[in-house]
Structure 1
Amino acid sequence: MRLLGVLIALGAVVTLVIVLRVDDLVRTWAEGSTAARRILDTYGLHFLKDPPKFWPGTNAEYTGARAPRIVPVAVTLYVVLAGLYAVLAVFVRNGYESARISFTALVLFACVAAIGGMARDLPALIVVLGAVEVAVAVAMLVLLWLPASTRFFHPGPVEPASVPSVE
């Protein structure tokens, strides 16, 4: 379960980098939207992050050009995943097979999300940290499904305890 601690710590670092590099992430997002790119070029980043109620020009021209709230989503996702990892780790440590399966599904979901995020044009530091997170997660899953681990979750038949006679 040390790898779980590493995974949670890496998640915290990635979340912190997202908080610190949010402007770069918004610029990257704006490149994929014609209206957002026009606003970024004309009015600047602050108009995308915190647009006025009434845009200069026509409002229809800038519909849907408000930057996504990246930081609250990243922080919420990190807190929820870290909490679920911690809770499931307790049950995995106690040998519950259902927890091992749930833990595997959750880690695979997080890996797919991380790989999907890395496919974007993100800052290099976020991509590298995401790749390290995926590698740690895969290592953790391999260890979780090794034959020795399976024996832990499915021990052999337990011999009945001998009961002393009362003679």
Structure 2
Amino acid sequence: MVAALELYLDVHATRRLRTLWHALEAEGIPTLASLHSEKHRPHVSLAAAARLEPEPVAAALAGLGLGVGLTVDLDFVGQFVGRVLWLGVTPSAELLSMHREVHERLSAAGIEVWDHYRPGRWVPHCTVSLRVPNPLLAPALRRCLEILPVHATVTAASVTDHANDITHSLAG
């Protein structure tokens, strides 16, 4: 299971990213659009763990604002091991500062997260697909590059765990 602290994007960016997801699905490339009964929204995850309890996370991050109003630029495409395809967020000083503050507060509250989401290791990104079939990687990359760049504003944040039907709004 995966739980995450997710930042959601403005309506225009969300529509563009959902259009990308649907175009890829039409080409046989699974995306977040079809995962967990279509509950996913385009997002940037600040932290993830096997489980995150919403109330302690909300208490630890109270008053932070969680990037609402922050602008982010998705400017490149990347892939993690395991055929995970994503759009990269250019790391601004404001985004990195907010990310560091989130992790300092979570750590102070004793909330454990996966190491690869910690400051200094985190790669800011918006996941497109968790398992691109190898023969379809080139078409998937092409589709992603066609919509870039995407300029977006963070409008909300939540703790989500779709496998356990948890969506707990934190901001916005």
TM-score by length of 2: 0.26
User: Which fold has the larger relative contact order, with Cα–Cα distance below 8 Å and residues 6 or more apart in sequence?
Assistant: 2
TM-score by length of 1: 0.26
Q: Which has the higher helix share?
A: 1
Q: Which has the higher strand share?
A: 2
Larger radius of gyration: 1
